[in-house]
Amino acid sequence: MAFLGAARHVKQKLGLDGLAEVIRDAGPEALTTFSRRINGLGLEPYAAFIGLLTSVDRHLGTGDLEYCRVIGDLSARHDLESIFKVYAVRPSPENMIRACTPIWGMYTEDAGLMEAVDVRPENTALEIAGFPDMHPAHCRLMEGWMIAAMDVIGVEVLPGARERECTSRGGARHEFWCQWRAKA
């Protein structure tokens, strides 16, 4: 959803001409990707994805990559609400957090492994290991995705949710952390 969803979001906000400008500014990989029909189930080149994210951030945000969190939020809501339509009863938040590994694998290729390293409400942590070249724009997207995903599964994320460790800041891995409580 993130690739096509970002494009749909831009089209909604800026119109078709605005989308064309965002794509032009996204770089040659994105131009090549958008020059053909995009299969929403396929994986697009990572450079095209990052080019699109950073261009969207420049056009709809302030260029500091924080708008990528909005794209992550929209992506999580779209992805998980679609998945939850098939559940008669939703699994517990802890079990949904543990399910991140196969979900990550559906959207990435050669991008390491995501796993829940802690699911306790006071210290939930997801780790992405083996993906040292993950772009900071993707990290911001994942922050937004994680927070929105927690909301969709029925919990309230407390202030302070963030990426605590990042390879672009010298870390050995990516670690996304939050605290949460059941919604009242």
Same domain, 110 and 151: yes
Same domain, 97 and 158: yes
Same domain, 53 and 97: no
Same domain, 112 and 175: yes
- What pLDDT was estimated at residue 41? 60
pLDDT band at 154 (very low <50, low <70, confident <90, very high): confident
Predicted model pTM = 0.89
The average pLDDT across 127-146 equals 93
Same domain, 26 and 96: no
52 Cβ neighbours under 8 A, 6+ residues apart: 3, 6, 7, 22, 23, 26, 30
Burial state string for 6-15 with b = 16 or more CB within 10 A and e = fewer than 16: bbebbeeebe
Q: Which of 163, 174, 162, 148 is nearest to 96 (CA)?
A: 148
Cβ atoms of 160 and 178 within 8 Å: the answer is yes
pLDDT at 83 > cutoff 80: no
Alpha-carbon distance values, 65 to 14, 23, 120 (Å): 18, 17, 29
- What digits encode the pLDDT tens for the residues 37-70? 887 666 788 899 999 999 999 999 999 999 999 9
The C-alpha atoms of residue 120 and residue 128 are separated, in whole angstroms, by 18
- What digits encode the pLDDT tens for the residues 107-136? 667 788 899 999 999 999 999 999 999 999
- What pLDDT was estimated at residue 88? 61
pLDDT at 82 > cutoff 60: yes
Domain-located, residue 86: no
The C-alpha atoms of residue 9 and residue 117 are separated, in whole angstroms, by 32
69 Cβ neighbours under 8 A, 6+ residues apart: 140, 141, 143, 144, 147
Domain-located, residue 19: yes
Domain-located, residue 99: yes
- What pLDDT was estimated at residue 109? 72
Residue with tokens 């992550």: 72
Q: Which of 166, 158, 162 is nearest to 176 (CA)?
A: 162
Same domain, 104 and 178: yes
The average pLDDT across 156-181 equals 95
- What pLDDT was estimated at residue 123? 94
Same domain, 165 and 96: yes
Range of the domain at 47: 2-60
**Domain tally, the chain:** 2
Residue with tokens 């699109």: 52
- What pLDDT was estimated at residue 168? 92
- Based on the number of CB atoms within 10 Å of its own CB, is 96 exposed (0-12), middle (13-18) or buried (19 or more)? buried
